[in-house]
Amino acid sequence: MTDPAIILSPAPRANPTLKHALNDILGGSAASVLTVTFGLSYALLIFAGPLSPYLSYGITATFVSSAVLAAIVALGSSLPFAVAAPDSSTAAVTGILAASLVERIEAANLSTPLLSPVLITLGLSTVLTGMVLCGLGLTRMGRAIRYVPYPVVGGFLGATGLLIVMGAIRVITDHPVQFATLLRFTNTTTLLELGAACAMALVLYLTWHRSRSPFGLPIILVAGVLTAHLAFWVTGVPLGEARALGWTFQPPPQAAFMVPWHTDALIHYPWFAVPDLLGNLVAVIFVTASSTLFNTTGIEVAVHREANLERELNVTGAANMLTGVLGGYAGCISISRSILNFSSGGRGRLSGLTVAAMSLLMLAVAPDLLGFIPKFVLGGLLLYLGADQLHKWIIESRKRLSKLEYLSLIAIIAIIVVWGFVPGILIGVIIGCATFAFSAARVESIKYSFDGSEYRSSLDRSRDDQEVLLAHGGKIQGLNLQSYLFFGSANRLYQHVKRLLQERPECRYLLFDFKLVTGVDSSAAYSFAQIKRSARDLGVELILVHLSAAAEKVLRSSDFIGEGVTIIPELDHALEWCENEIISQHQDLAQEEASLRDWFARLLESESDADELIRRCQRIEVAAGEIIVRAGDPADSMHFILDGRVGIMVPADDDRTTRVRSLGRYTTIGEMGLVSHAPRSATIQAEVDSVLYVLNTHQFDEIKEEDPALSHKLLTYFVSVMAERLTFANRTIAVLRR
């Protein structure tokens, strides 16, 4: 009887390139939904108040920015599925920059039209932002932002959330949030508009915030628009009257694409206002750089892939420079849109190009669309985005920060909102440095390192156990940590661990001794998460020793402590535990090898032939459910099943598989394929955790050339196995014919 792996023909497969392209387009389309929706709200946020008459140009600038950023980042990012566009934080600081320029022009009573100066300011700030990002990437100074104290970054981004909320209120009511305008908010219509926007924000939180369905957001917004128009119809309010009352936007005129770099516009630009705008310009650069780095890190953690930060800075910088030249404004890689694309199946660069194409399409559609959208719908979206950012940095950060760090964060938010970004940054850095000075010393995070062959537990062991530890002690690697661990030092620790695991591939137990560590900052959790991921990929167990309650709380809050991480109070006990594991594994392997030798000796009737065959085979372990070989693969090996059970699976209806045979310990699979070299026509899958020894065609050919006697015994064994299987099949057929 022939091998079951040869009987069945492989099922036809779809073109993988076309399938990947379709997945990329689907994922990009899902991300485009967020890009279009957010883009409209960002245009309203920036072109509000005195800039409202130029909203159509703001929409054009928004979707030009979205298209350029998405296309350039898609083509150059180290994460092929990354999606870039203006972000809520970058849009908020860009809006503050534009509003500051308008205030300076109006204060000077200039008759200069506002559009050209604003577009020039946005373009210049975006080009400068791109140049700074490229400089940070080329000089490898981008990682320096990781040394900025966490409360400073949190305060900065929390302030942008508050500014988004304030901008949303201005979009909804046409009134800025100031002490002088508070009485205007007592108007009944204004209160109703704010109430409707808050209701929309609440609906977004209760629905889309929790599900993150790619099409949930547009469905909710469309439902809000339809509800508003239904209310207008029921109350007998025509659309024109609703617009006059301020419930809906005035439809902006179609705006042609306009590059602001004209000689006349540059000559009449209010250059006197530039010094007053420098603080807000610094804010745009800082927010874009920090968002690029932190969003990239968030994507790394979410999808378990490592990005090249320098490359991300360079690509984002180039995209921003081109965006600025075309009259757009700053943006960066988006964590929400990138993860949505990835979750929807997008893995390639076509996803970002799809987002770019959809953004260009909106240049023709968006102005007409905006005239039918009630203010409270997009205003509610802005309220939700701002409130979500505030919740992240004011509520959630409280769990990760000490009291002093948290108070610093709140103080920085207040300073930025009251006095501006520059005072907030300066005072925040001073507060952060002062806080850090009390808790960290300027020393390396690793005091010394050791391995299990040179540093052992105090337990006296037998001579045999000592020989095992001497031969395999390198599987234990230890790092004695010291000082205060924050994002910068923890990142250096991660880089050291990566090099260590590359240089010592035999490592299976990595000990971290926290005895000399004075504290662990919440931001260090990102680096420990990367350490855990690298260790898990290599099958390395992490052991934490002398971990304080405060440090354990910080690491637990980031889900670092869990499977693959063990906490042991003392170093001596930790070393003893690792040594016991190594000795036990060595004994198990010794017993396993003896069992394998006995089996081969019975098959081949020779212990020397058994030893030779063992030498030619490669040991593998497979987990339950793991695929060992797939249908269609070349039949380039056979498997001796020493322990466990495997099944031979064939395709069935509805994309299912059916088991046609199961093989237990001391059986073999793939013998005839090894001889005939025909492609495998069935999939072999482990049904339980199993241990197999693999003999490939290369080793089998060497046996035939170097040891003909052993080759003859193997072929005889193959024939006997096939005869047994043929007899079994004949008996089965006879029963079925009764």
Strands 476-485 and 509-520: parallel
Give the C-alpha separation, 518 to 484, whole Å.
5
Q: Which residues of the chain have pLDDT under 50?
A: 1-12, 441
pLDDT of residue 590: 67
Nearest Cα to 58, choosing from 42, 69, 34? Answer: 42
Q: How many residues does this entry show for the chain? A: 738
| CATH code, residues 456-585 | 3.30.750.24
Token output for 688: 């339980």
Enumerate the domain spans of the chain. Answer: 17-174+181-250+258-436, 456-585, 596-737
Sheet with 637-643: strands ordered across: 618-622, 690-696, 637-643, 667-669
- pTM beyond cutoff 0.85: no
Q: Quick one: 596-737 is in which CATH superfamily?
A: Jelly Rolls (2.60.120.10)
Instruction: Please report the pLDDT score of residue 72 as a whole number.
Output: 96
Q: Look up residue 53 and give its amino acid.
A: P
* The predicted structure's pLDDT at residue 477: 92
Task: For residue 107, give the nearest of 116, 99, 96, 115 by alpha carbon.
Answer: 99
Kindly list the distances between the CA atom of residue 20 and the CA atoms of 17, 71, 224, 319, in Å, as whole numbers in the listed order.
Answer: 5, 18, 35, 26
pLDDT for res 58: 87
Render pLDDT for 654-674 as a digit per residue (tens, 0 to 9).
677 778 788 888 888 888 777
Per-residue pLDDT tens digits for 111-160:
677 888 999 999 999 999 999 999 988 887 766 666 666 777 777 778 77
Q: Among 428, 383, 404, which Cα is nearest to 282's?
A: 428
pLDDT value at residue 4: 45
